[in-house]
Amino acid sequence: MATLVSSGMRDGLREHRRKLTRPRQAILEIIAAADHHLTPAEIHKRARKKYPHLGLVTVYRTLDLLTEYGYVQRVHFSDGCHSYIATGQGHAHHLVCSNCGRAEEFEDCDLAPLIASLQRKTGYEINVHMLELMGRCPDCSSRSPRGVTQIRRTVPPRNHK
Amino acid sequence: MATLVSSGMRDGLREHRRKLTRPRQAILEIIAAADHHLTPAEIHKRARKKYPHLGLVTVYRTLDLLTEYGYVQRVHFSDGCHSYIATGQGHAHHLVCSNCGRAEEFEDCDLAPLIASLQRKTGYEINVHMLELMGRCPDCSSRSPRGVTQIRRTVPPRNHK
DNA sequence: TGCTAGTTGAAAAACTTTTTCAATTAGAAT
DNA sequence: ATTCTAATTGAAAAAGTTTTTCAACTAGCA
């Protein structure tokens, strides 16, 4: 598994004359192994366990690189902070559980009709979109139907700043 | 016009036992008069011309308040920065021109079918969404069809940070 | 006119993200 | 294996935005 990550990534990086370093491996492995989105700080903390030397700056740089090459995706939050999540195949958006942080991916094309209709109505050439959806996942919904008791919170509730 | 802004706002604020102060008037007037989204820093700069004492902290606090009560809306950018724009009637999203910053509003209900379909597919109770669309508006498109020459740029090109 | 809760501004703090730069290292060539 | 070189790293500092603190101030009501 770690091998898959590494070999797939090595090839991808080679095409761009980029190197597969231990820090980069550590970071991608953390993200690939996570079951939900992670902040740069959290990624740093986790990756340090495997590679204690790792600096936060490298995490940021690596996340930029991985995002650019499509290995991970940025998740935007309304407070302006970002989290990162491994990329599935060809998907582009996430529906994140506001309680446990679990994320479902959905396809870009679900948004296509809306964009097409708006382009027609407004005359804009729409080329960038950012969509984030949040809500309670089925598990969290059934565990606390009133939204009061929160049984397993795996995501920092508030400012992950 | 300024009167309309003030009187409408005074009533709204009174309901919440909030005061209509000079700083708040100045800030809302700036946003209402603008033809496109403004960053807190830009709002601060402009509002200072009318009310030189104004501190940036007050701008942030006022923007939170105005957003909460629905007088303005936050526009999210992928770099994590925010801009603010006056709220139209019942609209909820914006399509922002990446060249000149002009913004079109479109209705929340345009997004409803997508959300309904995702709720059905995933079982999530979706209660928060954030959608930002960007592209070239018709004017900017026709002025520089190749996207090379940019004739009137009224928005800071890059990091408004 | 006075009272009081709400508001303000300045300074400092809190954070996230970026820049700089000397030291290090992966990967290709030898 | 060894060498070479461009890419990469980490530490520190800088750059930004946004929040917190707190004493002074003020809008709105009695």
Which CATH code for domain B2-143?
1.10.10.10
Structure confidence at residue B110 (pLDDT): 72
Residue in B74, B114, B136 closest to A110 by CB: B114
Q: Identify the band that residue B156 occupies on the pLDDT scale cut at 50, 70 and 90.
A: very low
Enumerate the residues of chain B whose CB falls inside 8 A of the CB of residue A147: none
Residues 6+ apart with CB under 8 A from A105: A88, A91, A92, A93, A94, A95
C-alpha angle with apex A80: A112 to A24, nearest 5 degrees? 85
pLDDT, tens digit (0-9, with 9 covering 90-100), for A33-47: 987 889 999 999 999
Q: Is the torsion defined by CA of B112, B117, B123, B128 positive or negative? A: negative
Whether the predicted pLDDT of B61 surpasses 80:
yes
> What percentage of chain A has pLDDT greater than the value 90?
32
Q: Stretch B42-56: mean pLDDT, rounded?
A: 95
> Which residues 82-111 of chain A have a CB within 8 Å of chain B?
82, 95, 97-98, 104, 106, 110-111
Closest approach of B63 to chain A, Cα-based (Å): 13
Which alpha helices (H) appear in B16-130, and where do they start and end? Answer: 22-33, 40-50, 56-68, 112-122
Enumerate the residues of chain A whose CB falls inside 8 A of the CB of residue B80: 76, 80-82
> Which residues 47-86 of chain A have a CB within 8 Å of chain B?
74, 76, 78, 80-82
By C1' distance from the Cα of B60, the closest nucleotide is D18
**Contact between A129 and B124 using a beta-carbon 8 Å cutoff:** no
- Pair B96, A124: CB distance under 8 Å: no
CATH of A90-156, one of 3.30.1490.190, 2.60.40.1220, 3.40.50.880, 3.30.930.10: 3.30.1490.190
pLDDT, tens digit (0-9, with 9 covering 90-100), for A3-59: 556 667 788 888 899 999 999 999 999 999 987 889 999 999 999 999 999 999 999
Residues 6+ apart with CB under 8 A from B29: B2, B5, B47, B50
Establish if B134 touches chain A: CB-CB under 8 angstroms: yes
Whether the predicted pLDDT of B119 surpasses 80:
yes
Instruction: Round and report the angstrom distance from CA (A120) to C1' (C10).
Output: 50
Whether the predicted pLDDT of A108 surpasses 80:
no
Domains of chain A by residue range: 1-87, 90-156
Q: Of all residues in chain B, what percent are helix, strand and coil, respectively (each to 5)?
A: 45, 20, 35
**Contact between B104 and A124 using a beta-carbon 8 Å cutoff:** yes
The crossing angle, in degrees rounded to 10, of helices A2-15 and A22-33 is 130
Closest by CA to B129, choosing from A99, A98, A74, is: A98
Residue type, B115: I
Length of chain B equals 161
Establish if B161 touches chain A: CB-CB under 8 angstroms: no
Q: Stretch B94-106: mean pLDDT, rounded?
A: 78
Structure confidence at residue A91 (pLDDT): 56
Q: What fold is seen in the domain A1-87?
A: Arc Repressor Mutant, subunit A (1.10.10)
Whether the predicted pLDDT of A99 surpasses 60:
yes
